[in-house]
Structure 1
Amino acid sequence: MTTPSRRHTTGALLALAIGSFGIGMTEFVVMGLLPEIARELLPTVWQASQEDAIAQAGWLISFYALGVVIGAPTIAGSVAKYPRHRVMIALAFALTVFNLLTLVLPTFELVAASRLLAGLPHGAYFGIGALIAAEVMGPGNRAKGVAFVLTGLTVANVVGVPIGTFLGQHFGWRWAHLLVVLIFAVATIAIFATVPQRAGEPSRTLRAELSVFRIGQVWFTLGIAAVGFGGFFAVYSYVATLVTEVAGSPQWMVPLTLVVVGLGMTIGNLVGGHLADVNLKRSLLGLLSALILTQLLLALTAGWIVTLVFFAFAVSFAASAVSPTIQTRLMDVAGDNQSIAAALNHSAFNMGNALGAALGGAVIAAGFGYAAPVWAGMFLAVGGLVVAIIGFGVERRGVAARAAAQENITV
């Protein structure tokens, strides 16, 4: 691929960011509209128990995340041999169609199926989009390129999700998904017009890409994302009920809280990209520790809206800063399997999404209260830190063993 001009580079990156903005909306706007979705799609359960209805509606989050988990390795691995710009056009179009199904389907079961479909292109879009961004930005900017692609997702949490939540609360939750569909349609056109053409790599078959799973450190890195990031989603999935039921604030505070959370994610993502380029391992361990601490403080102070909003910002900052750090770590340990590795990061994050949302709903349904997901999230973050420490320890011992073996050969 020839080096694009600054204007073409900016256009391509903005096109990719529009798509990631749409993904951020479709993934996260559901979390602020669980009561509205439960009321419409689960009326019988809602009449019997609002807690059970909201917990059941939370499965829509898990179904989307399951789609990401399934789609990221299979799609990214299967399309690695094709030109990336064509793949991105197809992925953006698929996101448009599947979210259109969510908009129009009438029952909870069918909407759940559409959420599964909508999640399938998610990981491949971000994974391949990150590789394109790295190429057009040039060498020496890997983590910054990853952070740029993710910026659309985080900005969606500042602007798109609060707007979608407002529309959903006042006009019905489907209006939020209408906006999502329109954004993906624009992204499809923009990607077609701006992303530079590049020949595919016919040698990169699905079988070749799947060899990434033979690398032990890949599994450790995926485990950090799946378990540790699940701690964030246990909190974020139930922000609406934290604000209204735990802090006792009016419903209009939910979109404002989501804006603050989105700001934390946006700033954290940019900071995390910088820290990953400075010292990846130290940054990853420090940010996971910060995620644990901020969740503890949120759990202890969620009854007051001021501290709830402050520590929700802190939790989202720490969690989002972890994201480019894990993405870069995964690319470091994946060898030649870059396409599938970049996508697997989002597969792992959405395993955390599914785990966090399901666990948060389970502790609510079990009667532990609406603040219980925060505690559950903290323990998941602890698990992620433990996996990271073990993974780095295994790597360190492996390096020492190889050095000793090389010394013996030399002697």
Structure 2
Amino acid sequence: MLSHLYEETVALPPTQRAGASNQSIDSLLTSERAWLVRKCAMIIRNADAAEDLAQDTLLEAWRNRKKLHDLGGEQQEQRRRWLAAIARNVCLRWLREDHHERAHRLMQPSNITVNPGTMNSQEEEWSVDLAPAPDKYGVEMELERAELSALLGEALAHLSEPLRTTLVARYIQGATHAEMTQQFQVSEATLVQRIYRGKQALRSVFTTHLNQELASYGIYQPDTQPGELVTRMWCPWCGDDHLVLSENAQSSKRLFRCRSCDTTSGGSSKTSQWQKISSAAAKYTQLIKWLYSYYWQTIDQEPICISCGGPAILTVKEAPDLPARYHGIGDQPGIAIACSQCQRTHYNTLSHLTFDLPQVQRFWKAQKRITWHQGNQIEHAGISTLVSTFQNKDSAKHIDVLVERQTFRVLAINE
């Protein structure tokens, strides 16, 4: 949602003539500013830049205000169609001038080098650390872009050199047709044909060789989206199989489940507004971030209800006192958050809570395939302590989270 600050009006330059017609057009244009901000934000997916682009649109419309008058643009429908066309051109120009550099940077973490003669690709399943993350972009969105950049590099490697270098120059480096004809020493007709053939070849690669890889990023052919998606992520609790994503569009529920140990993690947009992303890894990162912010705020600060937001009571539970569905991966304790207002109780376990910690998330993303086990109860600084351990499936690398037995507060994290 856009904040109310975008509702303010922009002062247009004074008109050369003081006639009532021009004054009316100025008022009509400035009255559309809030709508234009939303329109620009929808095109570029960047609320911060939308405000400036809306202002640029209004200024360009003002300079061509005679056209609006000739079109009979006093009617809102005609006026908005005219403004929308200007806004689209302004936004596309901004995307072309400013975002081809971002796309180029996103290609680099996947070790995709863009040279006239060669292009190498090395698959990187997913790594939030490799993706640049400016403050105005969500981590999940940057993660998704990094994933898709890696997939694009893999697809481009299947193309012949002329087609590959042409597509990279046009859509990654943002070169114009004039620059490309000079760089490749070809005619305009040959260049246009290469671009067309390159896009067709790329589409063929995605629908044949990389069909499954494309699906793992949440991208499907029309009318082929399955009810469940087997992701590229290994289960962080057993490490024996991949996580499966199930989503319910009507309730906006999102559930990740391991086919081997049946461990699940999930959430609903009723309690969190999901950012619009498509890749499974980005969705899982988004879910884990929300779970971490809720449960660890409840543990470290003040217990609140996940359903109604009212005050709640947190208690530590032994394994037998937890519901049966939490007994799947070992005899582990957990917490119960009981709300006296809506009479609901929510549970979580030691393994899930510690997995949500940022340090453990970084460990998982670095190791790719890990497994969880609970260590023996120990004394740490004179405090009764639980040990939650995540270990690389194929090596001795591990991370230990030490949790106070009575409160579940984190005492130490050792990697």
Both structures adopt the same fold (TM-score exceeding 0.5): no
Provide the TM-score with structure 2 as the length reference: 0.25
| Greater RCO structure (CA 8 Å; 6+ sep) | 1
Structure ranking higher in strand proportion: 2
Provide the TM-score with structure 1 as the length reference: 0.25
Structure ranking higher in helix proportion: 1
